[in-house]
Amino acid sequence: MVPEHPHIGLLVLRRGSALRVMRSKLSDCSAGADFLKRLDHKEFQPVKTLALVFAEGNPERLAKIEAAKTLAEITKLFNEMMDESMTASPSHFVQSIAP
């Protein structure tokens, strides 16, 4: 449980929880919602770029990537693609990220 006014040390230690709390508090006001929208947009493109590289030209994956319009959608899709690749061939994954 995160207190209403947490100490900064707690926020650093529990970064993930802190970000969820901040997101829920900010989404209640228009300025906060606008900030969150811009933040999501800023984070969306790098995740999409990673997903495109990881798709390896697979038309089905590429179509899903193009259909993803939010940070949550593209992140979920990227995680699913990583899980599929790791399940299918762990050695292929290692080879694909090796320098």
* pLDDT of the chain, 99 residues: tens digit per residue: 657 776 777 667 777 776 777 777 777 778 777 887 888 888 899 999 999 998 889 999 999 999 999 988 999 999 998 888 777 665 555 555 545
Confidence at residue 1, expressed as pLDDT on a 0 to 100 scale: 63
Q: Would you say residue 30 lies in a domain? A: yes
**Separation between Cα atoms, residue 98 and residue 53, nearest integer Å:** 14
Residue 95: predicted pLDDT: 53
Residue at 40 is within a domain: yes
Task: Give backbone dihedrals phi and psi of 71, rounded to 5 degrees, phi first.
Answer: -60, -40
Predicted local distance difference test score (pLDDT) of residue 49: 93
pTM of the model: 0.59
Domain with 71 in it: 8-97
CA dihedral over 85, 62, 41, 96, signed as positive or negative = positive
Distance of CA 17 to the CA centre of its chain: 15
Residue 42 lies in a domain: yes
**Residue 2 falls inside a structural domain:** no
Structure tokens at 78: 């990227």
Round to whole Å and give the CA distance between 26 and 36: 8
Confidence at residue 32, expressed as pLDDT on a 0 to 100 scale: 77
Count of the separate structural domains present in the chain? 1
Instruction: Read off the tokens for 62.
Output: 């590429």
Q: Which amino acid is at 15?
A: R
Instruction: Decide if 75 is inside a domain.
Output: yes
